Structure 1
């Protein structure tokens, strides 16, 4: 039949890259139930996001898991992979809390010459931090460098999880850049629920961030998620009285068309 469409001849739709990074504390204080709960939560997150990625026509989702303890390293050799290729390896706890090393590693990889290479454009990177303590290395120097010089980091969607009573919400708020984008909870079950919901909500909103004029924020996602789930065991760092002065940004270069190669 002349009007029959050969599905094999259809060209795949070009989708902009949506990178989702999880920066996870695996220091010694995470030993026992905390690391077990983190692994369980991340396995659920991978499953949920994988299903979303498979059906999403707006963006090509890729995931990277960066763990930090004594130093920082990527879970997978390639660092950033499509969900169909990504294999989650359960994390183990031990060592220090080198958040500065994690920020330095992000600074190196948040570049179109590295993890953000794409011929079809990019959405805003999503970066989700989780810690149960406070940094043991020179995090301030690393934060100053990445927040002042890396435009992808400056304009990424950043959300933080401060888990447990020893988590430093003030430092995490500075790293994220907004205390209202940091969730504090001492209940591991609540953390499990919120991490899953934050991840999927971030992916849904972030997948459209390449559209001109769409400017999603971590604060909006956090507030919407807490309201949606009704988790009374969670609050934002802002609710706890933490305030943050946003780091300076380079105003000489306007925010890019996310489908272009304007930035490194």
Structure 2
């Protein structure tokens, strides 16, 4: 049995993402999946899950093999808050149920990747602060945050993430660059699996500022 590399995407779908930003995200996800499918290492091992968050947290794609997944169309409500804490709680439940742990009889999944993208501040800040250490304790190979647009603050993601990148604009070209960069990071992780240290990140393109 091939060991899986689980990849979780947490995507902000609050009201401020409505219009061009969410259309750009949809385009970016499609290009990311296409790029990963061209990598034989990734095609063999990568499983992807997408969780969106606004007033609710929704699992729009449960953990699915790369060659089997159908890219969902992500939508946003007219308006609404950014419940990132709720999304992390949902993520924690999913990971605990979906991750195959190593036993004496079999090798489990590789340490999963987590990518979190938001264009604002968590609305449920207390729940978010409570969930951050729980998510950190799961043992992700890398937790990468993305703050998009002028209202998102990188400091808000520091308690959660190993690295944070900033996107100054929220157009399709910038989001496409971001998701292509994600696919490079995942491909690199699928090849370096088994390393005990955190998975290395590829160089960021000019549209993406690697904050830490």
TM-score range for the pair, normalised by the shorter chain length: 0.7 to 0.9
How far apart, in 2, do the equivalents of 1:166 and 1:196 lie? 23
Give the structure-2-normalised TM-score: 0.86
Q: Secondary structure at the match of 1:107?
A: helix
Flag structure 1 segments of 5+ consecutive residues without an equivalent.
Answer: 1-13, 239-264
In structure 2, what is the equivalent of residue 115 of structure 1?
Answer: 98
How far apart, in 2, do the equivalents of 1:215 and 1:49 lie? 23
How far apart, in 1, do the equivalents of 2:208 and 2:43 lie? 31
Q: Secondary structure at the match of 1:225?
A: coil
Instruction: Quote how far apart the aligned CAs of 1:59 are.
Output: 5.3
Picking from 46, 66, 69, the partner of 2:51 is 66
In structure 2, what is the equivalent of residue 248 of structure 1?
Answer: none
Flag structure 2 segments of 5+ consecutive residues without an equivalent.
Answer: none
Give the structure-1-normalised TM-score: 0.70
In structure 2, what is the equivalent of residue 256 of structure 1?
Answer: none
The structure richer in strand per residue is 2
Q: Quote the RMSD (CA, aligned, Å).
A: 2.1
How big is each residue's C-alpha offset from its partner over 1:159-200, in whole Å with a ceiling of 9 and x where there is no partner?
111110001211112221x3xx11111223223212212x22
Are residues 58 and 15 of structure 1, via their aligned partners in 2, closer, same or farther at CA, if it must alter by over 3 Å?
A: farther
Q: Is the 8 A contact 1:17 1:60 kept in 2?
A: yes
How far apart, in 2, do the equivalents of 1:214 and 1:202 lie? 16
Tell which has more relative contact order, 1 or 2 (C-alpha 8 A, sep 6+). Answer: 2
Picking from 78, 81, 94, the partner of 1:96 is 81
Q: Secondary structure at the match of 1:121?
A: coil
Are residues 48 and 141 of structure 1, via their aligned partners in 2, closer, same or farther at CA, if it must alter by over 3 Å?
A: same
Are residues 120 and 190 of structure 1, via their aligned partners in 2, closer, same or farther at CA, if it must alter by over 3 Å?
A: same
Are residues 204 and 57 of structure 1, via their aligned partners in 2, closer, same or farther at CA, if it must alter by over 3 Å?
A: closer
Which protein shows a greater Rg?
Answer: 1
How far apart, in 2, do the equivalents of 1:157 and 1:17 lie? 15
Q: Secondary structure at the match of 2:67?
A: coil
In structure 2, what is the equivalent of residue 190 of structure 1?
Answer: 174
In structure 1, what is the equivalent of residue 33 of structure 2?
Answer: 46
How far apart, in 2, do the equivalents of 1:57 and 1:26 lie? 27
Q: Secondary structure at the match of 2:158?
A: helix
